[in-house]
Structure 1
Amino acid sequence: MKIIECPRDAMQGIKEFIPTEKKIAYLNTLLQVGFDTLDFGSFVSPKAIPQMSDTAEVLANLELEKTDTKLLAIIANVRGADDAALHKQIDYLGFPLSVSETFQQRNTNKSIAEAMEQLAQIQDICHKHGKTLVTYISMGFGNPYNDPWDAETVIRFVEELHKLKVKIISLSDTIGVSNPENITYLFESLIPVFKDIEFGAHLHTTPTTWQEKVEAAYNAGCRRFDGAMRGYGGCPMAKDELVGNMATENLVAYFEKIGLNLNLNKAAFNAALAESNAVFS
């Protein structure tokens, strides 16, 4: 089981700038917990996401010698990939590819076709610099723009990513519209067919529906889950209101309840959970 902690996703929608020193302290606490990966920052335009403008400075001050947790940075174009790839501390580059044409334009200022072209170039950059590309299929369970969506469309996108030899794909419920039925259908349709791809679940959710979503994804074979402490955050490019992230403490509680050993440092986990209030309030 892999739990991906996503403070970047939690922070990016906050308008008031979080001091760099506060980010560094919080991320260093998270690095002690034992998560598989930390989605810590992004190399994108500071005009688009000003909260992440200090990502390089934050990265330079992370205490990576004390952790086995890997680092993931989000990028939105080739330039961002070039910048991120220069940092040897980063293991994964994450790119949001949307099945919604409207959201692809809003999120990365390019069409789906242009995004696919850039994704091929980003994959080359990853190979050149020893990084692994993580592709998020944004609006993977529907969208609010009346753009066409069905499960077969998502499967076709996966087929195209498979041709590019993408090894990690995270199905993203960007606005919290997934349900147990479409979660089950997608993961059960994809995981047995694309055995060389690791599929993840990035499920934004309301506090009342989180468990049924996690349960459906897990029972359908998913073993990679994204979360954020206390469910903070959401995608600021998606709609006028944010739908929060999957709360990490809920993920941990559920998986421990069904008997999984997550090998987490509980003291560090509780410290990070407490510190999250100071960071986001």
Structure 2
Amino acid sequence: MKLIECPRDAWQGFHPFIPSEIKLEYLNQLIRVGFETIDFGSFVSPKAMPQMQDTAWITERLELTGSNTSLLAIVANERGATDACAFEQIGQLGYPFSISETFQMRNTQATVEESFERVKRIADLCQKHRKELVIYISMGFGNPYGDPWAPEIVMEWVEKLSKLGTSTFSLADTVGVAQPSDIGWLFTALIPHYPELEFGAHFHTRPDDWRPKIQAAYDAGCRRFDGALLGYGGCPMAQDDLVGNMPTERLVDFAREQRELLCIDTGELQKARIMFQQIVG
């Protein structure tokens, strides 16, 4: 199993602003844990996401020497992708591609088709700068807006996007509505059909329904999972205060149950957990 720690998703909507030095200290602690990837920041408009305005400053100061952890930054357009590509430290760029027209407009001020054209240009930038592009299929398991959704729609967009050279997709349960049956159907359909691609799961969940989602994805062959310590954060549009990120602690427990080898330092993980509790009060 690969565990992707997502502090960016945990604190992007947090108020007030977390001092940059504190974020830096926490991210350096997460690097010491040994996560496969850390989704650490985003290159987006400071007006849209004030908490992320110091991503460039932080990137230049992260302690990566001797670490195998890859850094992933979220971008919403070519300008953000260009800024992120300027940093050698960043290995992956993530783009939130929603199959819900309403959410795509709200999230990136672009229609789904316009977003597809953006992905083309961002993919070219990634290839030029030797970065990996990770596509998040947001609203991948349904949406609250009444926009069309079906597993087949997800399949269609994965097919189109994969032709742009994207090799990693993360199916995002953006508002925490995923059903185990849909999770199992999608991963069972996608993973054998695209053996050259990597598929991950970015689940948002209530405290009492995390296990069925992980189990359904795992049983269908998924081995890449996003999480955030304490299950903090999540999408503010979930319309349910109990819906947050998948708790990293649960993912670690699940991996142990499945006898999966995780290359993380549990002592450093506990230190990170304590630090994050202090950050969010």
- TM bracket (short chain): over 0.9
Measured after TM superposition, the shift of residue 163 of structure 1 is 1.3
> Could you tell me whether the CA contact under 8 Å between 2:176 and 2:238 is conserved in 1?
no
> Quick one: distance in 2 between partners of 1:130 and 1:68?
17
> Quick one: distance in 1 between partners of 2:22 and 2:136?
28
Structure 2 equivalent of residue 35 of structure 1: 35
TM-score, scaled to structure 1:
0.98
- Structure 2: segments with no counterpart, 5+ residues: none
Q: Between the two proteins, what is the percent identity of the paired residues?
A: 54
Give a deviation string over 1:10-61, Cα, whole Å, max 9, x none: 0101121011011001000000111100000000000000000000111111
> Could you tell me whether the CA contact under 8 Å between 1:32 and 1:66 is conserved in 2?
no
SS in 1 for 2:201: strand
Structure 2 equivalent of residue 73 of structure 1: 73
Runs of 4+ in 1 over 2 A off after TM superposition: 238-243
Measured after TM superposition, the shift of residue 67 of structure 1 is 1.5
> Could you tell me whether the CA contact under 8 Å between 2:187 and 2:220 is conserved in 1?
yes
Structure 2 equivalent of residue 191 of structure 1: 191
Give a deviation string over 1:145-172, Cα, whole Å, max 9, x none: 1111011101101011111121000000
Structure 2 equivalent of residue 82 of structure 1: 82
> Quick one: distance in 2 between partners of 1:210 and 1:40?
23
Structure 1 equivalent of residue 18 of structure 2: 18
Q: How does 1:33-112 map to 2 (within 5 A)?
A: 33-112=33-112
> Quick one: distance in 2 between partners of 1:177 and 1:98?
15
Give the aligned residue type for 1:6.
C
Give a deviation string over 1:89-144, Cα, whole Å, max 9, x none: 00000000001000000000110010000000000000000100000000000001
> Could you tell me whether the CA contact under 8 Å between 2:10 and 2:228 is conserved in 1?
yes
Residue 170, structure 1, aligned to residue 146, structure 2:
no
Give the aligned residue type for 2:250.
N
- Structure 1: segments with no counterpart, 5+ residues: none
> Quick one: distance in 2 between partners of 1:280 and 1:148?
37
Give a deviation string over 1:211-269, Cα, whole Å, max 9, x none: 11111101100010000000001124x34555300000000011102211202111101
Q: How does 1:239-278 map to 2 (within 5 A)?
A: 239=238, 241=240, 243-278=243-278
> Quick one: distance in 1 between partners of 2:93 and 2:74?
6
**RMSD over equivalenced CA pairs, Å:** 1.0
> Could you tell me whether the CA contact under 8 Å between 2:34 and 2:264 is conserved in 1?
yes
- Number of positions where the alignment pairs a residue of Structure 1 with one of Structure 2: 280
SS in 1 for 2:33: coil
